[in-house]
Amino acid sequence: MRRRNGFTLLEVLMAVTLVSLMSVGIVYAMRAGFNTMSKTNNRVVQERKMLGAHRVLEQMLANLMPVRADCHGGNPLDIKGSAFFFQAEPETLRFVSTYSLEEAARGLPRIIEMQVIPGDRGEGVRLIVNEHLYSGPLSTGQFCLGPVPDPMTGGLRLGYAPVETTRRSFVLADRLTKCHFLYRQALPQPPFEVWHDAWTPMPSPLPSAIRVEMQPLAGESGRLRHSPVTVPLHFLRDFGERYEDK
């Protein structure tokens, strides 16, 4: 039996069902599109953060300041000696820089502490950085303990306080299978350079370059990878001379 408009009830139901299915398909397509946009945006944000962290790392190292420390280890009334302030170890790096996280290159110099620590939930390692205001040899001296026994050589070496992880520690790089520092010694003859895992004041207070080796965890290949950062250090100052106004 036909209706006045010329369509049977079955035809009307089929038309309604078809429109409903089309509507559901459009909704799912929009949802899939929004999810894809959200994932893409999150990935772009993460990669921008990584590139920004690399830039911060390069600027901190490039703006390194050669300064000294009156070593007192937290007691300014008991100075144990004066030394060049530069702690350079495979997983620890301390120095003073004119570039900081809070004020970039516009603020006061900062004492920079870079430390490799275990990652979240024990997955790999991460690189953190702490900043402290630099105000002279006494400010750097709180991290310098003075001469301490060296169990490797049996002599004395310059000791430093351990780097502490706090709530203000900033994570520069995360989800790494390894991260360590290397220090370049320039040579006048071939091979013209040698890379060391640690740096001592001799033959020069500072290396000619610093490299941060970073390798991502397995399964992170689909993302933008952390690449090694190598920063040359350029200084014209004679570290053996005292500079002052006359």
22/15 Cα distance (integer angstroms): 11
With bands split at pLDDT 50, 70 and 90, how would you rate the model's confidence at 209? very high
Would you state the pLDDT for residue 50? 73
Q: What is the mean pLDDT of residues 149-169?
A: 83
Would you state the pLDDT for residue 237? 58
Q: What is the pLDDT of residues 73-93, one digit of tens each?
A: 888 899 988 889 999 999 999
Low-confidence winner among 23-37, 94-108, 182-196 (lowest mean pLDDT) = 23-37
Q: What is the mean pLDDT of residues 5-33?
A: 78
Low-confidence winner among 23-32, 79-88, 92-101, 166-175 (lowest mean pLDDT) = 23-32
Q: What is the pLDDT of residues 170-199, one digit of tens each?
A: 999 888 999 999 999 999 899 999 999 999
Query: How many other β-carbons are positioned within 10 Å of the β-carbon of residue 172?
Result: 24
Nearest partner of 199 among 85, 112, 98, judged by Cα: 85
Q: Is the sign of the CA dihedral 101, 230, 91, 182 positive or negative?
A: negative
SS (H, E, C) 193-237: EEEECCECCCCCCCCCEEEEEEEECCCCCCCCCCCCEEEECCCCC
With bands split at pLDDT 50, 70 and 90, how would you rate the model's confidence at 223? low
CA atoms within 13 A on the CB side of 199: 28
Per-residue CA distances from 237 to 65, 84, 199 (Å): 11, 14, 19
The H-or-E segment that residue 39 falls in is: helix 9-62
Would you state the pLDDT for residue 1? 46
SS3 for 245? coil
Cis peptide before 191 (omega within 30 of 0): yes
Which residues 6+ apart lie within 8 Å of 111 measured at CB? 94, 95, 96, 131, 132, 133, 134, 139, 140, 143
The more confidently predicted of residues 90 and 4 is: 90
Would you state the pLDDT for residue 200? 83
The more confidently predicted of residues 39 and 238 is: 39
Query: What's the chain's average pLDDT?
Result: 84
The H-or-E segment that residue 27 falls in is: helix 9-62
Per-residue CA distances from 34 to 19, 26, 46, 162 (Å): 23, 12, 18, 47
215/222 Cα distance (integer angstroms): 14
150/140 Cα distance (integer angstroms): 22
Q: Structure pTM?
A: 0.78
> Where do runs of H (alpha helix) occur along 75-115?
none
Q: What is the mean pLDDT of residues 152-174?
A: 86
By residue count, the chain amounts to: 246
Question: Which residue, chain included where needed, has tokens 């001469």?
Answer: 147
Question: Which residue, chain included where needed, has tokens 């007691």?
Answer: 75
Q: Taking the domains of the chain in order of start, what are their residue ranges?
A: 64-232
